[in-house]
Structure 1
Amino acid sequence: MTPLLELRGLGVRYKGAVAPALEGVDLDLAAGERLAIIGESGSGKSTLARAVAELLPQTVIQQGTVAWPGLDQKARNGRDIGFVFQDPASSLDPVMPVGDQVAEVAHANLDMDWRAARRLAVELLDRVRLPEPALLAQAYPHQLSGGQKQRVAIAAAIVARPRLLIADEATSALDTIVQAEIMALISALVAEDGMALLFVSHDIALAANLADRVAVFRHGRLVEQAATAELVSQPRTDYSRALLAAHLGLHA
């Protein structure tokens, strides 16, 4: 089966860094598949997510290929790729109503006039389970809770029903209860729209509840990948066993 996304020999080095952030990564993602990218801070997982979405700074040195065999063309941010960042506050404009921010994505990527884009924004705010979406659309980010801001960011990411949704540590800034709610929301939206999911996290327990497959990264290298159930029950590397012990309470 032709993969949606294909990485071959992907390497990334930041200017002035001693070691590469990513090195020699070969990885595929099928259409509709849920893949978790797991590793400690500095393992290269967020760099990989940004490389896929072409969000890395121009100063990086990038090697290898990021190909999209499952698309007729190169993937477009906002249209084919939706991206949800770790800190929703940093991805939202503090001086623009949140409904207009979602509408702006629709206006830019779906060639909608502003009236239609604003109507769609309210529908999407309702879809991500925000209360009184028409009223909330007029609110500014500082008037919302962290969980509400992340729901707005998710609404903006799914405006065009992208083929791939990337969630880069999208729940790590939230408390446990809100984190579970956002995870359930992402899972439901991915299933409803048939999107592939690239879920980046340091927490393998979250990945085990969401992903079909897990790819484990350490020091910029892919050290293990397997179906979630297989990796949890029979990890092949000491590093994966240590992650499981830390987040699932298992013996390493």
Structure 2
Amino acid sequence: MGVFKKKYRPDTETQVNGARLVTFVEPKHVISEQFRTLRTNIEFAGAALDKLQVVMFTSAEMSDGKTTVSSNVAVTWAQAGKSVLYVDADLRRPTAHSTFDLLNTRGLTTILASNAQPKDIVQKTFVDNLEVLTSGPVPPNPADLLSSARMASLIDWMRNNYDVVVIDVPPVMAVTDAQVLMPLVDGAILVTTFGKTLKANVQRTVETLRLTDTKILGTVQRVRGGKNDAGYGYGYGYGYGYGNE
């Protein structure tokens, strides 16, 4: 496994420049079709639930691609006519403002730490039907804010105002932020990268999700593509294995 770890250096491109929205820029690209298939599979996986409205995207480790997957799947939901809110709850390494070219002077942390109204903080994007709640200023106590009663009330507000809420949270193995949000969501998607993500960390992440009774809607495995992959570099596959063991 050490060989793989040397090949995969931390991916800072998304952190600096935001995720690449292939689903918006090239909706007919094969990668865009893969994201639409992911969306459909998530809907099928959630069909047995009482509701599938608030979906959390997480990973076991950093640089597994959860932000790219979550933002592109959110775009496909919006393109399908759903009213979508994308929430950047990765308060330590925020990226949504870069992805959607928005200001981040106010955001999720502003609402949680003050009396600001969500409708005044949420921002429209260049994607029809898609609005974004950026992270806001980085706080000293992310987990405390996310576990607050105000966060629970905010999720209720989201449910009442949008068809689908996509929440991007930090890796489960890195910090406790994702764990405190698990009781508030309808299901979770686990993103991994083939040849990088350690199997032991994936197993521990699945165990953590199950301890909180979080429905695992499936796993997305990101696979590095070849040089002719139009510059996007990865392919995406969806599986049910970890959710059904």
TM-score by length of 1: 0.43
Task: Judging by fraction of residues, say which structure has more strand.
Answer: 1
Which entry has the higher C-alpha Rg, 1 or 2?
1
